[in-house]
Structure 1
Amino acid sequence: MAIIWGLDLREIQWKKFASSNMFDRQWYLRREKMIIYQLAMISMVCSESVGTATLSAYVHQQSHLEGVYPGSHVHNNDIVGIASYNIFVGVAIATIFGAAFFFDLFWPDRHESGGVKLAWRVSAVVVSVAALADALAFTVIVAMHECWVDGVSGEELAAVLRDGGYPSWQYRRNARAVASVVLLWVGLVFTIASTYILFKYYAHHGKFGPKSHEALGAEKQLAPDLEKEAAPPSPAPPPVPHYPENPNYFSETYTRREDVI
Structure 2
Amino acid sequence: MAVIWGLHLKEMQWAKFKSSYMWNKEYHLRRTKFIVYQCAMIFCVVSESLGTAALSDYVDQQDFVARLNSNVTVHNNNFIGIASYNIFVGVYVATIFGSAFFFDLFWPERHESYPVKLAWRICSVLACLFTLSAALAFTVILATKSAYVTGADADTATELLRRYGGSPLRYRDNGRGIASVVFLWPGWVATVASTFLLWNSLSHIDAYGPKSTHARNAVKDADGPVDEKSPENASRLSDSERPVETNLPATVSTPKRLENDGLNQASLD
Which bracket does the TM-score occupy, shorter chain normalised?
0.7 to 0.9
Structure 2, unaligned runs of 5 or more: 232-269
What secondary structure sits across from 1:74 in the alignment?
Answer: strand
Which one-letter code corresponds to 2:151 in the other structure? G
CA distance in 1, matches of 2:10, 2:165: 55
1:30 to 2:33 alignment: no
Q: What CA deviation, in whole Å up to 9, does each residue of 1:42-86 have, x standing for no partner?
A: 111111111110000010011101111221111000110001000
Q: Does the CA-based 8 Å contact 2:93-2:127 persist in structure 1?
A: yes
TM-score (norm 2): 0.81
Which one-letter code corresponds to 1:76 in the other structure? N
Cross-structure match for 2:4:
4
CA distance in 1, matches of 2:166, 2:5: 51
Q: What CA deviation, in whole Å up to 9, does each residue of 1:220-255 have, x standing for no partner?
A: 22223798xx99xxxxxxxxxxxxxxxxxxxxxxxx
Which one-letter code corresponds to 1:122 in the other structure? I
> Aligned-pair distance for 1:115?
0.6
1:111 to 2:126 alignment: no
CA distance in 2, matches of 1:83, 1:158: 25
Which one-letter code corresponds to 2:50 in the other structure? V
CA distance in 1, matches of 2:147, 2:157: 13
What secondary structure sits across from 1:70 in the alignment?
Answer: coil
CA distance in 1, matches of 2:162, 2:71: 16
Which one-letter code corresponds to 2:7 in the other structure? L
Cross-structure match for 2:79:
79
> Aligned-pair distance for 1:203?
1.3
Which one-letter code corresponds to 2:17 in the other structure? F
TM-score (norm 1): 0.84
Identity over the aligned pairs, expressed in percent?
51
> Aligned-pair distance for 1:157?
3.3
> Aligned-pair distance for 1:20?
1.0
Q: Where does 1:40-79 land on structure 2 (aligned, <5 Å)?
A: 40-79=40-79
Cross-structure match for 2:90:
90
Q: Does the CA-based 8 Å contact 2:65-2:161 persist in structure 1?
A: no
CA distance in 2, matches of 1:158, 1:45: 34
Q: Does the CA-based 8 Å contact 2:37-2:191 persist in structure 1?
A: yes
Which one-letter code corresponds to 2:192 in the other structure? I
Q: What CA deviation, in whole Å up to 9, does each residue of 1:16-53 have, x standing for no partner?
A: 00111111101000001111111111111111111110
| Distance verdict in 2 for CA 1:72–1:11, change over 3 Å | same
Q: What CA deviation, in whole Å up to 9, does each residue of 1:126-174 have, x standing for no partner?
A: 0110000000000111111111011222543343344353111111111
1:130 to 2:112 alignment: no
CA distance in 2, matches of 1:155, 1:18: 62
CA distance in 2, matches of 1:139, 1:155: 30
Q: How many residues align?
A: 231
1:100 to 2:100 alignment: yes
CA distance in 1, matches of 2:135, 2:82: 9
Structure 1, unaligned runs of 5 or more: 232-261
Which one-letter code corresponds to 2:208 in the other structure? F
